[in-house]
Each structure stands twice: as C-alpha cells, then as structure tokens.
Amino acid sequence: MDIQNLFVVFLFLILAIILVKVIVNVKMQGGELFGRPTINIYLQFFGKISIIIPSFFLLFEALGLNILTFEVPDFLKWVGTVVAFEAMLFLYFSLWKLGRYTKMGLPKNDPIQLQTKGIYKLSRNPMYLGLILLAIASVLFVPNYINMAFAFAGIFIHHLIILGEEKFLEEKFGQSWLEYKSITKRYL
C-alpha cells in the first residue's frame, strides 16, 4: 500500500471517530440528527447518497479494492490526496464547531445559533464544502464514469440544499444573516 492510500485511510479513520463522537453528543444532549429537508425529500435523499458514494470509491481504492481497471498516475493520486486532506479539514472543523447542532436538514424543534466564527469565517457552508471537496478528491483518485456521475449529482443537489438552507437562515436571523452573508462567501 503506497503512502497516498495510507494517508487517505488514516483520514477516513479520523473522520469516522469524529462522526461517532458528534452523533453521540447530539443524542446525549437531546439534539436532532435529522431535520426538515430544504428540497424535495426524495431529491435530498438521492443527493445525500450521491455525495457519499464517491467517498466509498475513494476509501475502497485506498484500501486496495481496485475499482479501476487501469493505473492512475501518481501525480493525480497526490492531487486527490491533498484535496481529500483539505476536505477532511473542513469536515472536522465544521463538525467540531456545530457540535450538538449538527443535523441533516433544517431544525424541527432544536434551537440554533448563527455560526459566524472559526471555520465559518472562511465559508458559510464548510461542512458542505468538505463533502464537495471529498467528492472531487474521489474523482481525481478514482476517475471512472460512475464515480464522476455520482459526484456531479451530489454536488449539484447539495448546491440546491444550500440555497434552501440559506433562505431559511435569512428568514430566521434577518439582518445578522445579511451582514454575515455580505462578508463571507458561500463556499470559499
């Protein structure tokens, strides 16, 4: 197993640990893991599946479960590894910052606060940015048509989800949201 593969597997292990910790904290503190969808529920579900599938392509390839029938140039794997690292940083820090308020969708009953500090100074949507970068890293690491199709679909649908969430945040936080939106970009 080469260094890029080991590094990618290591990143996924850390992400798994953080995800489990966040899920346990959300449940222990009485938070919601699943909220209301911002778009059609079936489209949102397909989007979530579509953005996750490329992560599995990346992990399986890193574990040596050769999904490809051809060898990817080392340069492309290194670029994919660097993008995966950046993706994981956004995911780690956004999960850590949101803590018990981490959820899939809009809150049903959970009170929320507008996040504007930490990683949220760089991006209004750092968790989604992390997922998008991870899908891109997967396409670089495992460039096949199925992976590309799921990555593209997941990225496109998540953009629609983001638009719905931002509309909700504008309604909920009004001027505070508008000020934050004026100084912080949607992605980067």
**pLDDT tens for residues 131-180?**
999 999 999 999 999 999 999 999 999 999 999 999 999 999 999 999 99
pLDDT band at 120 (very low <50, low <70, confident <90, very high): very high
pLDDT at residue 71, rounded to an integer: 82
Higher-pLDDT residue of 108, 128: 128
**CA gap 11, 99 in Å, rounded:** 20
pLDDT band at 67 (very low <50, low <70, confident <90, very high): confident
As a whole-number percent, the residues of the chain with pLDDT over 90 amount to 74
- Give the residue-averaged pLDDT of 116-135: 96
Q: Specify whether the CB–CB gap between 112 and 101 falls below 8 A.
A: yes
158: in domain: yes
What average pLDDT does the chain have?
A: 92
Q: Which of 20, 14, 17 is nearest to 84 (CA)?
A: 14
41: in domain: yes
Higher-pLDDT residue of 72, 185: 185
Higher-pLDDT residue of 159, 113: 159
- Give the residue-averaged pLDDT of 5-14: 94
Residue with tokens 């599938």: 53
169: in domain: yes
Neighbours of 70 (CB within 10 A): 7
80: in domain: yes
Amino acid at 182: S
Beta bridge partners of 106: 36
108: in domain: no
The H or E element containing residue 105 is none
pLDDT at residue 33, rounded to an integer: 85
Could you tell me the two tokens for 171? 């309604």
- Give the residue-averaged pLDDT of 24-38: 88
52: in domain: yes
pLDDT at residue 98, rounded to an integer: 84
Residue 30 has pLDDT above 80, yes or no: yes
Residue 43 has pLDDT above 90, yes or no: yes
pLDDT at residue 122, rounded to an integer: 96
Q: Specify whether the CB–CB gap between 15 and 88 falls below 8 A.
A: yes
188: in domain: no
Show the domain range for 132.
3-103+113-183
Residue with tokens 């507008």: 114
162: in domain: yes
Q: What's the number of domains the chain is made of?
A: 1
